Amino acid sequence: MVKKTLNIGSKRFIIESDSGEEILNYIEKKVSELKEKYRDISSTDEILLAMLCDIAEEYYIYVERTNKIIKSISDKVSKKIGGNFIEDRSF
C-alpha cells in the first residue's frame, strides 16, 4: 500500500492506494491544480466541496463521452443487411 500526504486549506490528509503510486501522483497533481483554481476560498470545507464538484463534473463528462462512444460502436456493429455488416466510415 502506498501513502501520500496532502495539505488542503488548514488540514492535512493522508491518502492511500493499493493501485500504486501513479494514482496518488495523479491525485496530488489534481489537488494542486484545484487548490490554485480555488485559492480565493478561505474555508477548508468550502475548498473540499468545490474540488469534489469539479472532479464530479469531470467524471460525469468522461462517462457521457464514453457512453456515446460505446453507443456509436454498438450501433455500427448492429447494422446488418443480409448477414453482412455495413461499414460506416463517417467518423
Q: Is residue 39 part of a domain?
A: yes
Backbone angles phi, psi at 85, to 5 degrees: -80, 140
Number of domains, the chain: 1
Q: Is residue 90 part of a domain?
A: no
pLDDT digits (tens, 9 = 90+) for 22-80: 999 999 999 999 989 988 988 889 999 999 999 999 999 999 999 999 988 888 877 75
CA nearest to 52, candidates 34, 71, 77, 64: 34
Q: Is residue 6 part of a domain?
A: yes
Q: Is residue 65 part of a domain?
A: yes
Backbone angles phi, psi at 67, to 5 degrees: -65, -40
* Distance from C-alpha of 85 to C-alpha of 65, rounded to nearest angstrom: 25
- Domain range for 39 is 2-76
Q: Is residue 89 part of a domain?
A: no
Q: Is residue 81 part of a domain?
A: no
Q: Is residue 87 part of a domain?
A: no
More confident residue, 87 or 29: 29
Q: Is residue 86 part of a domain?
A: no
Rounded to an integer, the average pLDDT of 4-17 is 90
